[in-house]
Every structure is written in C-alpha cells, then in structure tokens.
Amino acid sequence: MGKSILVIDDDRLIRSFISTILKEDGHHIEEAGNGGSGLEKLRTAEFELVITDLRMPDISGMDVLCEGRKIRPEARWIIITAYGSIESAVEAMKMGASDYLTKPFGSPDELRHVVRRVLKEVEQEQKLSLMSEELGKQYPPPEMIFLGNRMDSIRRLVEEVAPTPATVFITGSSGTGKELVARLIHQLSPRKDGPFVAVHCAALPETLLESELFGHERGAFTGATSTRKGRFELADGGTLFLDEIGDIAPSLQVKLLRILQEREFERVGGTKSVSVNTRIISATNMDLKSAVAGGRFREDLYYRLNVFPIALPTLKERSEAILPLAEYFASKFGTSFGKKISGFTEDAQAALLAYRWPGNIRELQNVVERAVILSSGLIDKTHLNLETSLGATDGADGLLKLGEKELIRKTLLETKGNRRQAADILGISLRTLHYRIKQYKL
C-alpha cells in the first residue's frame, strides 16, 4: 500500500527524479522547492515520510528536520547530503532522522532500498503498537483489577508514582496483572502520548534479546542487512516495560545498568552512543534478592531497578475479587462468542472460590473462556474443568499424579502452542515448561 511522502529539495531535477521513482512504487508524492514551503505542507497535510536535502538557500535541512519533527512527530525522515558531508547526515540522525542518502545517487534502486527499509520499520512499529493494544485487551479494566482490599494500597502507589519519572519495579506471581499496572502508570504519566513498548525478556535467547533491546547496525551479524532500532529507541519519549527482568544474562545486565545510569547505549555492532529519554518499568515473578545473593543478578542493577517497588498479591490472597472477575470474563467472552451467559451455578462458584489459582487472573480468564465455549447459558462446575489444572493439587507432585506429559501436551494443544499461556495455566514457570517439553520430546 502506497504511502504519503514529501520531497523537499531546491534542485528541481533531484525532486523530479525522486518523485518519479517513488511514484512507480505506488506512493503519493508531494514536492516542495525550499524549506519554508516544505514546512507549510507539513502543517496542512499528513506525511508518513519526509525526504529533505540538507543544504537549501532559505532554511537548512537540519532546521527543517528540527521544526518538522515538532509539527509531525509521527513522520519518518530521510536526509539527502553531498558525498563529502556524511558527518552532517550522522548529526541529523542523532536529531531523529531514520536514514540518509548521498548525492549523486548511485541508482534508482539505492533510493528504493532506503525508502522501503524506513517504511518497513514504520510498519513494524505500527504492528508492535497493535500487538500492545491487543495484549492490553487480555486484561480486565482497572476498576476490575483493583477489586479487593489488598489492592487499595496498590492503586494509591500507582497514582503517586505515575506523574514522576521514577523507575518502577513490579513484583508478583505470573498472571497477577504486572503489565496492566505498568500500562496504567504510563497512561497516568506525562508520557501518556508517547509509546508503551513491552519486552518479555525470558522469551528470547541472549543474542536475540540484545538486538531486540538495543538494535543493531548493518552487518553486525549474519542476516543484519540493515540498521535496526531496538525497543529502547522505539520507546523514546515513552515507557519501556521489561517483563521477567530476572532472566536477562549477566552481559546484558551490564548494558542495562549503563542505560539506567547514563541514558545512552550502543547498538549491537555499533560504536556511536545513542541517547534516549525512556522510562523503565520492570517486573519479575522471581525473588531477585535471592538471585543477587546467589550471584545471578547484579546488586547495583537491582538497586537501580528497585527505586519504587510495587508488590502485587496473588488472586487467592484477595478471594473477594474472584467471583466478580469471573462474571466479568463470562460476560466478555459471551459477547465475543455470541452466547448469552446467565451466570455461574452455586457449585461452580464454590469451585472457583476453592481453587488456589496458581496462574492468577490470567488463568481465571482462560478457565472462564473455556467454560463459556462449553456452556449453553449457565456455567456449571463441569464446564470449568478445574481438575485438569495444577491448582487442584500441590506443585510438582500434583503434576505427576495427573500425568505430567499428557497434561502438558493437552495444555499446549489448548493454547495452540502458546508456551507462556500454557505455563500460566499449569502454574509453573516458563523455564520449567521449556525443560519439560525438552525432557518429554513434545
């Protein structure tokens, strides 16, 4: 699908060349013969990409970039510079440009390659934003999450820390709503119009996680065909949520510590420092104090992260929220599946209250979703199928009694291979699930 692109250059031949090539790719092109005209067009129309020369007679490309990013902060920028002025292009990239082109152009393909790469990055970030929105839809609204006396103090902490720039450290078992709390802090902060970017640190191996967090330069490793921004840069001006922070490797802990101290880092394979204004909220279901004592987590990093701690209780610790949350999920999924759910039987309610919910709110949501699918109106105890989960027994022994391999296999099928969701339902860590899958050759 074609994009809306503004080309600013005082050289008519260059403008015409760029416009012709990009129109062939299906893009809508607007032209401006000088910086002032270009800024006027930015004020009156939306553009996804701006291509501007650095040297122009009225307003320099650097000034156009600086002012233009204020007018259209969502737009991407490509700078055109003379072959001998690469330093100026690098300076422009520090100010927010995505890439640069040197003139005279080598070929039309060179122009196409740079434009396509930048636009692909835009699409990836849009997808990331949509994924974040979809992830948010997995949780109930704040008024439901804060049900129960145990959550009153949590709500007050969230409201107090949100307006500040403080680094927040959220602890709690899997499924207690750590990411939702992080989102609420972001939404209540002065950064609410900036991006909220979530990274699940345990889901990626060390080498991939480093590139995901910090980005990489072209040629940094096999397959790195272009420069790519990492999540820290994508979250610039907003909030970066680092979930399962206790799982990051020692080498990455050092780099993360530097960001917290200096607010800058280098991309993988790069030598130039990148500065960011990103608020960090981290979360873990581990006991990081024990990890520090055991030498698995840096003590200095722990104290840098643990500036403002928020500890979330388990769902079982606030049992008064179980039935209202179950009703909420039943109504939500009933609407989604086109079913009229009239509520829960007394036996079902008793079962919900008796269960220990190792997967907390996320597990409750999964159980109710499955029950809605099985029910034709009133949800009974049999629809909940709680006996298939580890919560009905105690830990690993219960898992063995139920037939560990078969239970894991069925749960993976039920979650369509989503290992994180399966681990939450089973009430075990993602690392334990990975070990079991390997052990049983699943």
Query: Does the predicted model carry a pTM greater than 0.75?
Result: no
For tokens 């050759």, what's the residue?
441
pLDDT for residue 390: 45
> Percent of the chain scored above 90 by pLDDT?
31
Higher pLDDT, 257 or 143: 257
For 185-199, 245-259, 323-337, 410-424, which range has the lowest pLDDT when averaged over its residues?
410-424
Bond prior to 165 in cis (omega within 30° of 0): no
For 34-38, 205-209, 342-346, 359-363, which range has the lowest pLDDT when averaged over its residues?
205-209
CA distances for 339 relative to 85, 326, 335, 364, angstroms: 65, 16, 6, 19
Tens of pLDDT, residue by residue over 64-85, are 998 998 888 888 999 988 765 6
Tens of pLDDT, residue by residue over 320-338, are 899 999 999 999 889 888 8
For 34-43, 148-157, 368-377, 412-421, which range has the lowest pLDDT when averaged over its residues?
412-421
Which segments of the chain belong to CATH 3.40.50.300? 138-311
CATH of region 316-440: 1.10.8.60
Specify whether domain 4-121 bears CATH 3.40.50.2300.
yes
Query: Is residue 182 very low, low, confident or very high in pLDDT (cuts 50, 70, 90)?
Result: very high
Burial of 7 (0-12, 13-18, 19+ CB in 10 A): buried
pLDDT for residue 400: 42
Find all residues with CB under 8 Å of 302, minimum gap 6, and list them.
288, 289, 292
Q: If DSSP codes are grouped into helix, strand and coil, which group holds residue 64? A: helix
- Phi-psi region at 357: left, alpha or beta (left = phi > 0; alpha = psi -120 to 50): left
CA dist 369 and 326 (Å) reads: 10
Q: If DSSP codes are grouped into helix, strand and coil, which group holds residue 216? A: strand
CATH superfamily name and code, 138-311:
P-loop containing nucleotide triphosphate hydrolases (3.40.50.300)
Higher pLDDT, 122 or 352: 352
Higher pLDDT, 403 or 143: 143
Q: What is the mean pLDDT of the chain?
A: 83
Query: Is residue 401 very low, low, confident or very high in pLDDT (cuts 50, 70, 90)?
Result: very low
CA distances for 120 relative to 90, 127, 159, angstroms: 21, 10, 37
Which segments of the chain belong to CATH 1.10.8.60? 316-440
